[in-house]
Amino acid sequence: MKFKLPNLISAVAIFAFVGNSYAQESPKYDYTEAFKPFFYPQTGTETRSASGQPGHKYWQNSADYQLNVSLDESKNEITGSAEITYTNNSPDQLTFLWLQLDQNLFAKDSRGNAIIPLSGSRNGAKGESFDGGYKIKSVKYDGKEVKYTITDTRMQIDLPGDLKANGGVAKLKIEYSFLSPKYGSDRMGVEDTKNGKIFTVAQWYPRMCVYDDVMGWNTLPYLGASEFYLEYGTLSANITVPANHYVVASGELLNEKEVYSKEEISRWNAARNSEKTVVIHPESELGKGSNSGTKTWKFKIEKARDFAWASSSAFIIDAARINLSSGKKSLAISAYPVESAGDKAWGRSTEYTKASIEHYSGKWFEYPYPAATNVAGNEGGMEYPGIVFCHMNSMGADLWGVTDHEFGHTWFPMIVGSNERLFAWMDEGFNTFINSISTKEFNKGEYKQPSNVAQMAGFIFNDSLEPVMVGPDNMKERNIGILAYYKPGLGLGVLRETILGPEKFDKAFKTYVHRWAFKHPTPWDFFHTMENVSGEELNWFWKGWFMNKWKVDQAVKAVKPLNGDFKNGTQITVENVGQLPMPTTVLVTFKDGTTETVKLPVEVWKRNTEWTFQLDSAKEVTNVKLDPLSIVPDINPNNNAWPAK
């Protein structure tokens, strides 16, 4: 999901303005607390190794779906059935099953609606009054009606007999319908255009809750802010829509000859072999063809945790080939209305999609799906396997940014399946971090923005913020963009550039992705992996940046010539004032204009609050500055230099 940058830039300005005041309020540095051992709550288990990788008896349940659905355009109504094959690979027998009913967020009496403040919210239906939520027609287990209980956005199904451990299979069929909200918590919706409605459809079928080795059943309700935690499987969908609609969806289209003309299929074939964008369904052909009856579009996606789709009579569709690192190919696709067309807007969407997928595939892990589809809707930005929804008014740098961000989510959490409901930073923060690298590389830095990490301290260390490890439903909504996206993303940048170095960081981070691809890691699995692969102790960093609200504040305390004369050398004393230690880089400038850089490892702060080192130089020192490249967010820049400013 994407938080709009302009609002955050305003926040940066405010927090930067007041940032210096927080240095006075910071508790003093306690090195015994910062480096205290036994940070990890438990040692390795059979399912999760202390090294950060899945244990030798790691298990994970799976859920396969056969979805049949029809769209009533006039009513904005979705009617469907979900046939679920659920496999219990756990060592536990199960007497009941839990499912997520996310559409119930839009029921008038939902918990999510109850917590929307009078000032409004990004979550929910933006005040739309309609009969929202699922209408459940039937629930069957092995072909027979079964008892179930619905509590807000969850359904519990009581089983007639225990579901066996270590491979027991349950087969469910649920028939349902619901009315789509026009604005569905910025994740789905219905947008009117001059050539017809655009339906972006997500959270549209009952989905299995995750049963894991950490919490058992994960049944936190869907309140709007927090996202999802889902099992992997194969999902197939038959989507019936008005005959003049074009459908794009997660995965591979299975029946193109039934839904596209011969000329359109020829264009698809050209796009599969083209580095440049090929228009499949151009503006000139909008409104042509059958305007009565229906068509059924069939899609399938494997190794996926979710499925989304979009349908409209207004879609221009174009595509181009994606080149993957193994030599395999995928397809970049864009679907958008004429209002979004043009080379300064969605006419470049497929180019952006292709570049984003190719970059992440080469850098971290190969893209696993046959297509990557970008859809113009009324969402600020939302991600699903193989398909994303971005706002139809985005263009230029904004369209690149939201496209790259949403497709970056393919890696977190579509490939690395963390628990978004609890740990938003493990998908949004990781993604924000990898976006910063991809943006620098796209088209020779076309949209690269200069950054000064040092100036971000007042923004990310503001006292009004909760800790990063607080779940998104437990944060002030205005803080989610900072705590789920920017602070953890910036933290990974600091870890890469300041603490580990790019080579060690990239090796450890890539190892984490490969270890936990299509699995369910916790924060501790990530922490363990980064430490074990890099060989560095990092508990002080996890503790300060993610678990607590520790601030960085280092200072130049004193610069003294040895025995009163610089010709004898210089002693420089630096101090760690804030609670969070960091490796310290000191730039020394001499009177003749030459410089010397001294790098102090974080270990100098393991038993010291200040550290004095000596320069064996006969030159007179005129200036000393900490963090000369401005890559560490220090809450009080006024004490970072000598002479003091």
Tokens of 309: 């789709």
Contact 461, 549 (CB under 8 A): yes
Q: Does residue 83 sit in the same domain as residue 40? A: no
**Per-residue pLDDT reduced to its tens digit, 174-187:** 999 999 999 999 99
Mean pLDDT within 470-474: 94
Residue at which a domain ends, from 231, 247, 270 = 231
Q: Do 50 and 181 belong to one domain?
A: no
Answer yes or no: is 438 within a domain. no
> What value does the mean pLDDT take over residues 358-367?
98
Cα 64 to Cα 231, 369, 388: the distances in Å are: 9, 16, 21
Q: Which of 169-183, 204-218, 239-253, 448-462 has the lowest mean pLDDT?
A: 448-462
In a domain, 598, yes or no: yes
Number of domains in the chain: 4
Task: Judge whether 626 and 449 are in contact, CB under 8 Å.
Answer: no
Task: For residues 121 and 313, give the distance between their C-alpha atoms in angstroms, rounded to a whole number.
Answer: 31
Residue 23 clears pLDDT 60, i.e. is over it: no
Q: Which CATH number do you get for residue 131?
A: 2.60.40
And the tokens for 626? 């900490």
Judge whether residue 16 has pLDDT over 70.
no
Phi, psi torsion values for 567, nearest 5 degrees: -65, -20
Q: Are residues 486 and 369 in the same domain?
A: no
Element (DSSP H or E) covering residue 11: helix 5-18
pLDDT number for residue 15? 43
List, for residues 396-431, the tens digit of each pLDDT value.
Answer: 999 999 999 999 999 999 999 999 999 999 999 999
Q: What is the pLDDT of residue 4?
A: 61
Determine the pLDDT at residue 450.
86
Structure tokens at 49: 């190794």
Is residue 611 a contact partner of residue 598, using CB atoms and an 8 Å limit? no
Residue 191 forms beta bridges with which residues? 198
pLDDT in tens, 31-81: 999 999 989 988 899 999 999 999 999 999 999 999 999 999 999 999 999
- Per-residue model confidence (pLDDT) at position 26: 63
Domain assignment of residue 7, yes or no: no
Using CA atoms in the order 156, 159, 160, 165, what is the torsion angle rounded to 10 degrees? Answer: -170
Owning domain of residue 160:
60-231
What secondary structure letter does DSSP report for 546?
A: I
Tokens representing 182 are 């026009």
Other beta carbons less than 10 A from residue 32's beta carbon: 8
pLDDT at 215: 97
Is residue 534 domain-shared with residue 625, that is, in the same domain?
A: no
Instruction: Mark whether 522 and 607 lie in a shared domain.
Output: no
Q: Is it the case that residue 217 has pLDDT exceeding 80? A: yes
**pLDDT for 291 beyond 90:** no
Are residue 274 and residue 377 in the same domain, yes or no?
A: yes
For residue 589, CA distances in Å to 132, 284, 360, 557, 596 come to 66, 66, 40, 16, 7
Asked if 50 and 66 sit in the same domain, the reply is no
pLDDT for 529 beyond 70: yes
Phi, psi of 173 (to 5 degrees): -140, 125
Q: How far is the C-alpha of 206 from the C-alpha of 396, rounded, in Å?
A: 37
Query: Per-residue pLDDT for 22 more than 80?
Result: no
- What is the CB neighbour count within 10 angstroms for residue 223? 22
Is residue 105 located within the same domain as residue 208?
A: yes
Q: What confidence score (pLDDT) does residue 25 get?
A: 55
The pLDDT score that the predictor gives to residue 589 is 97
- What CATH code is carried by the domain that includes residue 612? 2.60.40.10
Residues 573 and 612 in one domain: yes
Report the alpha-carbon distance of residue 54 to residue 323 in Å, rounded.
30
* Contacts with 128 (C-beta within 8 Å, 6 or more apart), sequence order: 181, 182, 183
pLDDT band at 578 (very low <50, low <70, confident <90, very high): very high
Answer yes or no: is 236 within a domain: no
Domain boundary among 508, 525, 547: 547
Judgement on whether residues 526 and 565 belong to the same structural domain of the protein: no
The CA–CA distances, whole Å, from 366 to 260, 355, 362, 370, 432 equal 29, 13, 7, 12, 19
Tell whether omega for the bond before 242 is within 30 degrees of 0, i.e. cis. Answer: no
Which of the two residues, 26 and 315, has the higher pLDDT score?
315
Task: Using DSSP, state whether 297 is helix, strand or coil.
Answer: strand
Last residue of a domain, which of 196, 216, 231?
231
- The three-class DSSP label of residue 192 is strand
Q: Do residues 572 and 612 make contact, with C-beta atoms less than 8 angstroms apart?
A: yes
Q: What is the mean pLDDT of the chain?
A: 95
Asked if residue 100 and residue 138 are part of one domain, the reply reads: yes
110 and 169 part of one domain: yes
Asked, for residue 439, whether it belongs to a domain, the answer is no
- Give the span between the Cα atoms of 343 and 543, in whole angstroms: 46
- The pLDDT assigned to 448 comes to 94
Share of the chain above pLDDT 90, in %: 93
